[in-house]
Structure 1
Amino acid sequence: MTTRRHPFAAVPVAVVAAIVAVVLTAVSGRYGFHRDELYFLVAGKHLAWGFTDQPPLTPLLVHVSGSIFGNTPMGIRVFSTLAAAATIIVVALIARELGADRRAQTFAACCTAVAGFPLGIAHLASTATYDLLAWMVIGLFAVKLLRTGDHRWWVGIGLATGIALENKYLVVLPLAALLLAVLILGPRSVLRSWWLLAGIITAALVAGPNLWWQATNGWPQLTVAGGISDDDGVENRIMFIPLQLLQLSPFLVPVWVAGFVHMWRSIHWSRPIALAYPILCLIVLAAGGKSYYALPLMLILIAAGAIPTLDWFSRGRTSLLAVGAVLTAVTSVIIALPVLPTSALGAVLPVNPEQGEQVGWPALTSAVADAWAQIPEPDRSRATIFALNYGEAGAIDHYGPAHNLPTPYSGHMSFYDWGPPPDTQTGPVLLVEQEPTQYYESRLGTCHQIGTVKTGVDNEENGTHLTLCTGPTESWSTLWPSLRRYY
Structure 2
Amino acid sequence: MTAVAVPKPPLPRFATGPVAAVAVVHIAVLTALSSRYGFHRDELYFIAAGNHPASGYVDQPPITPLLARAATALFGDTPSGLRVAATLCGGVTTVLIALVAREFGGGRRTQFAAATATALSGYVLVMSHMLATNSVDMVMWTAIGLLGLRLLRTGDGRWWLAIGAVVGVGMANKWLVLVLLAALGIALLVTGPRAVFASGWTIAGIAIAVVLVVPQLFWQIRHGFPMLTVASGIRADDGTKNRLLLVPMQLVYLSPVLVPVWIAGLARLWRAPQLRWARAYALSYPAACLILVLVGGKPYYAVPLLLILLAAGADPTLRWIARGGKRRHGYAGILAAAGAAISVVVALPVLPITALRGPVMAFNKDQGEQVGWPEFTSTVARAWQRIPPDQRPKAVILTGNYGQAGALERFGPGLGLPRPYSNHMSYADWGPPPDTMTGPVLYVGTLRPAVLAAFGDCQRVAVNDNSFGLPNDEQGTEISLCSQGHEPWSRIWPRLRTFY
TM-score (norm 1): 0.99
Question: How much does 1:442 deviate?
Answer: 2.3
Cα deviation digits, residues 374-403 of structure 1 (max 9, x gap)? 111111111100001000000000000011
Q: Aligned partner of 1:241: which letter?
A: V
Alignment of 1:198-237 (within 5 A): 198-237=204-243
Question: Pairwise CA RMSD of aligned residues?
Answer: 0.9
Cα deviation digits, residues 33-71 of structure 1 (max 9, x gap)? 000110111112111111111111111011011011110
Cα distance in 2, alignment partners of residues 166 and 271 from structure 1 = 29
Corresponding position of 2:422 = 410
On the 8 A contact 1:162/1:202 being kept in 2, the answer is yes
Cα distance in 2, alignment partners of residues 165 and 379 from structure 1 = 46
Corresponding position of 1:300 = 308
Match of 1:313 among 321, 334, 342: 321
On the 8 A contact 1:313/1:320 being kept in 2, the answer is no
Corresponding position of 2:462 = 451
SS at match of 1:430: strand
Alignment of 1:22-421 (within 5 A): 22-266=28-272, 267-315=275-323, 316=325, 317-347=328-358, 348-421=360-433
Cα deviation digits, residues 133-153 of structure 1 (max 9, x gap)? 011110000011111111111
On the 8 A contact 1:411/1:483 being kept in 2, the answer is yes
Cα distance in 1, alignment partners of residues 344 and 486 from structure 2 = 50
Question: How much does 1:441 deviate?
Answer: 2.2
Cα distance in 2, alignment partners of residues 36 and 112 from structure 1 = 24
Match of 2:18 among 12, 18, 30: 12
Q: Aligned partner of 1:447: which letter?
A: C
Q: Aligned partner of 1:310: which letter?
A: L
Cα distance in 1, alignment partners of residues 367 and 447 from structure 2 = 25
Question: How much does 1:158 deviate?
Answer: 0.4
Moved more, 144-153 or 303-312: 144-153
On the 8 A contact 2:19/2:111 being kept in 1, the answer is yes
Question: How much does 1:472 deviate?
Answer: 2.7
Question: How much does 1:79 deviate?
Answer: 1.6
SS at match of 2:481: strand
On the 8 A contact 1:3/1:98 being kept in 2, the answer is no
Cα distance in 1, alignment partners of residues 170 and 34 from structure 2 = 25
Q: Aligned partner of 2:491: which letter?
A: T
Corresponding position of 2:4 = none
Cα distance in 2, alignment partners of residues 129 and 360 from structure 1 = 23
On the 8 A contact 2:450/2:495 being kept in 1, the answer is no
Sequence identity (%): 50
SS at match of 2:444: strand
Name segments (4+ residues, structure 1) moved above 3 Å: none
SS at match of 2:386: coil
Cα distance in 2, alignment partners of residues 112 and 54 from structure 1 = 26
SS at match of 2:417: coil
Q: Aligned partner of 1:172: which letter?
A: L
Q: Aligned partner of 1:461: which letter?
A: E
On the 8 A contact 1:397/1:408 being kept in 2, the answer is yes
Q: Aligned partner of 2:377: which letter?
A: T
Q: Is it true that 1:478 corresponds to 2:491 in the alignment?
A: yes
Cα deviation digits, residues 9-29 of structure 1 (max 9, x gap)? 110000001111001000000
Corresponding position of 1:437 = 448
SS at match of 1:203: helix
| Length, aligned pairs only | 486
Structure 2 residue ranges without an equivalent (≥5): 1-6
Q: Aligned partner of 2:94: which letter?
A: I
Q: Aligned partner of 1:173: which letter?
A: V
Question: How much does 1:84 deviate?
Answer: 0.8
SS at match of 1:6: coil
Q: Aligned partner of 2:474: which letter?
A: E
Q: Aligned partner of 1:453: which letter?
A: N
On the 8 A contact 1:3/1:97 being kept in 2, the answer is no
Q: Aligned partner of 1:327: which letter?
A: A
SS at match of 2:443: strand
Corresponding position of 2:3 = none
Structure 1 residue ranges without an equivalent (≥5): none
Q: Is it true that 1:426 corresponds to 2:438 in the alignment?
A: yes
Q: Aligned partner of 2:313: which letter?
A: G
SS at match of 1:309: helix
Q: Aligned partner of 1:151: which letter?
A: G
Question: How much does 1:427 deviate?
Answer: 1.2
Q: Is it true that 1:467 corresponds to 2:480 in the alignment?
A: yes
On the 8 A contact 1:429/1:472 being kept in 2, the answer is no
On the 8 A contact 1:173/1:280 being kept in 2, the answer is yes
Cα deviation digits, residues 423-457 of structure 1 (max 9, x gap)? 11111101000x34233122121111110001221
